[in-house]
Structure 1
Amino acid sequence: MAEVEIGAVSKAFGKTQAVVDLSLTIGDGEFVALLGPTGAGKTTTLRLVAGLEAPDSGSVRIDGRDVTSDAPADRDVAFVFQQYSLYPHLTVFENMAFALRAPTRRLPEAEIRAKVGQVARLLHIEAKLHSKATQLSGGQMQRVAIGRALVRSPSIYLMDEPLSSLDAKLRGEMRLELKRIQIDLGATILYVTHDQTEAMTMASRIGVMEAGRLMQIGTPREIYENPVNSYVAARLGQPMINLLPAGLFAGAPSSAKTIGARTEHLAITRNGGDVSATVTRVEHLGDQSHLHLDLGGQPVVTLAESETTLDVGDVVSLRLNKPLFFDAAGRRVAA
């Protein structure tokens, strides 16, 4: 594995600025996730590291070597795409061994079999090695796609939303598998996702992107507890943070125009709180409930106990507990 440095990279497609002056270092053996909505520049960043796109400015260094002008084949990277991109007429073994038989990397057949077998065991697909790709389930195909990258042992793995096409149960299982494998191999991974759960549960650091810019980089806890602006605050948290006019509550800093209230920032009582709100909907989710409230015409969503007796039309009191504050431009304001 190796350290990867992205230095002040920018990339435009016509008049659209896809990546703007982005600098990021992925440490040796680190799992970094880029989080953001469609169009934030996440995939373009991956493609710039892979060499599939050339930057308009800036540089990419892998293991201390400037690879900005190198072809993809010379960068020692492995790319896992959102879709499986398997060869349907080949077996699982042949799909995984394909890159190891390339003219630039041809290994002895015994070594290829050993590598493929080892990775197949890691991914729990050793029983499928002689099956055609078309005979596999979606989860198995995704494991093969990941396995095809793992056998390469590259400097860095680039993963573009590899779990997004799986159902919720499989996605949860694969998150655990992928993190386990990353730790076991000490792999360096740059991972793109729009799913906050994937980012928070797998990554050692999260980079939040908006309109091609890296807004903040930090551990999941840092990003969640100390977002630099309201955009970053809204990327993490379930249910999503409530962004409310500062005038609804007393005690906000004078420069604050918006209060960011996560579920842990809101205490709900029948009376005795700072303000009153009306229950508009209760979503029972088994171990907890989402409580939808109307607070002076502003919608608020927070958590309640699973056995809550609150119902539509009930009036409750809310009290704030160390919320976040933002100015008119969305920048964080000190409490």
Structure 2
Amino acid sequence: MAEVILNNVSKRFGPDTALDDVNMTVPDGSFVVLLGPTGAGKTTTLRMVSGLDAPDTGEVSIGGRTMAGLTPAQRDVAMVFQQYSLYPHLTVRENLEFPLKSPILRTPKAEIDRKVGEVAEVLQISHKLDNKATALSGGEMQRVSIGRALVRNPSVYLMDEPLSSLDAKLRSDLRIELKNIQANLGATLLYVTHDQIEAMTMATHVGVLDKGRLVQFGTPREIYEDPVSIYAASRLGQPRINVLPADVFAGAPQGAAFIGLRPEQIRQGDGQECFVERVEHLGDQTRLHLKFRAHDLITVTDAHTTLTHGDIVKIQPANPFYFDAIGARLA
């Protein structure tokens, strides 16, 4: 496997800036998740690494080797797209075998059979191996698409929201399997998603992108517990961080315009009064939707709480985040 480095990479499409001077190091053997809304530059980053697009400025290197001028095939990467891309006239088995039969890999038949069998079992498609790709459901097609990447042993795996079309249970199962596969192979994996749970549970590192700029890069815990801005803080955490004017509680530092409160930063039992708007029982926890001085707050409480709409609870902040007027974190 290999370290991936983006050095001052920028990319424009007409008047739009897709990537703006991005510097990022994907460590060898890491599982890096890129987070951000549509248009943040996540997929463009994958395309820069894969060679499907070339940067306007800057360079990409894999394993210490610059990728300038190299085609996707020469880069030894495997990419899984958001929309499955299969050969419709081939069976599932033949689709999975196809990368291994390339003149570059020249994989022996026994090894092909072994790898295809193992991947099919992991992806729960062993019973579909002899079906034509056109006879599969959308979720099954995406599993085959993921399998086409997994059967190979490339320098880097690139995945663009590969689980988004799957049902909730299979998505949960494959999150675990993908992480196990990546860890067992020691693979370098760059993964795009909108799903915070995928980022928190699978990533060794998270890159937060905003309008083509990399605003923070670190472990999921670092970004959750030490965000550099309101924007970065809002990328991780369910329920989402509460952001209120800094003066709604006493003790805001000089220059603070906003206070950020995650559920664990809201202490219940004393302090200022809130009105309970709604109670969501989620099994292992209960979410409280509160109204505090005309501001909406969401926090969590005991799973077996007896609170209900109309009740009053008292809250106060505990080690909150403070941000300035443009949303940058204050020390």
TM above 0.5: yes
Distance, in Å, in 1 between the alignment partners of 2:100 and 2:151 is 8
What is the one-letter code of the residue matched to 1:263? Answer: P
**Matched position secondary structure for 1:82:** coil
Aligned to 1:333: 330
- After superposition, the C-alpha distances for 1:148-203 in whole angstroms (9 at most, x for unaligned) are 11222110000000001112221111101111111121111000011111011001
TM-score for the superposition, normalised by structure 2: 0.95
Would you say 1:284 and 2:281 are equivalent positions?
yes
Q: How many residues align?
A: 331
**Matched position secondary structure for 1:332:** coil
TM-score for the superposition, normalised by structure 1: 0.94
- After superposition, the C-alpha distances for 1:280-322 in whole angstroms (9 at most, x for unaligned) are 1112222222111111111111112222222222222111111
Report sequence identity in percent: 61
User: Is the 8 Å Cα contact of residues 205 and 219 (structure 1) preserved in structure 2?
Assistant: yes
User: Is the 8 Å Cα contact of residues 8 and 57 (structure 2) preserved in structure 1?
Assistant: yes
Offset at residue 241 of structure 1 (A): 0.4
Aligned to 2:176: 176
Which of residues 279, 284, 301 in structure 2 aligns to 1:304? Answer: 301
Offset at residue 4 of structure 1 (A): 1.1
Distance, in Å, in 1 between the alignment partners of 2:108 and 2:307 is 68
Distance, in Å, in 2 between the alignment partners of 1:218 and 1:128 is 40
Offset at residue 139 of structure 1 (A): 4.0
Range that drifts further, 259-268 or 298-307:
298-307
Aligned to 2:64: 64
Aligned to 1:205: 205
Aligned to 2:314: 317
Offset at residue 138 of structure 1 (A): 4.1
- Output aligned runs, 1:46-61, within 5 Å: 46-61=46-61
Divergent runs of 4+, >6 A: none
- Output aligned runs, 1:209-224, within 5 Å: 209-224=209-224
User: Is the 8 Å Cα contact of residues 259 and 324 (structure 1) preserved in structure 2?
Assistant: yes
User: Is the 8 Å Cα contact of residues 122 and 181 (structure 1) preserved in structure 2?
Assistant: no
- Output aligned runs, 1:116-131, within 5 Å: 116-131=116-131
Offset at residue 116 of structure 1 (A): 2.4
- After superposition, the C-alpha distances for 1:1-47 in whole angstroms (9 at most, x for unaligned) are 11111111000001100001111111221110001111100000000
Distance, in Å, in 2 between the alignment partners of 1:95 and 1:221 is 38
Would you say 1:147 and 2:147 are equivalent positions?
yes
Aligned to 1:160: 160
- Output aligned runs, 1:3-42, within 5 Å: 3-42=3-42
Distance, in Å, in 2 between the alignment partners of 1:150 and 1:287 is 34
Distance, in Å, in 1 between the alignment partners of 2:168 and 2:150 is 24
Distance, in Å, in 2 between the alignment partners of 1:290 and 1:117 is 44
- Output aligned runs, 1:90-105, within 5 Å: 90-105=90-105
Closer, same or farther: CA 109–333 of 1 in aligned 2, 3 Å:
same
User: Is the 8 Å Cα contact of residues 34 and 209 (structure 1) preserved in structure 2?
Assistant: yes
Distance, in Å, in 2 between the alignment partners of 1:71 and 1:197 is 34
Distance, in Å, in 2 between the alignment partners of 1:225 and 1:241 is 11
Aligned to 2:134: 134
Range that drifts further, 71-80 or 93-102:
93-102
Closer, same or farther: CA 176–138 of 1 in aligned 2, 3 Å:
farther
Aligned to 1:236: 236
Range that drifts further, 61-70 or 123-132:
123-132
What is the one-letter code of the residue matched to 1:298? Answer: H
Distance, in Å, in 2 between the alignment partners of 1:145 and 1:284 is 37
User: Is the 8 Å Cα contact of residues 92 and 132 (structure 1) preserved in structure 2?
Assistant: yes
Range that drifts further, 141-150 or 191-200:
141-150
Segments of 5+ residues of structure 2 without an aligned counterpart are none
RMSD in angstroms over aligned alpha carbons?
1.5
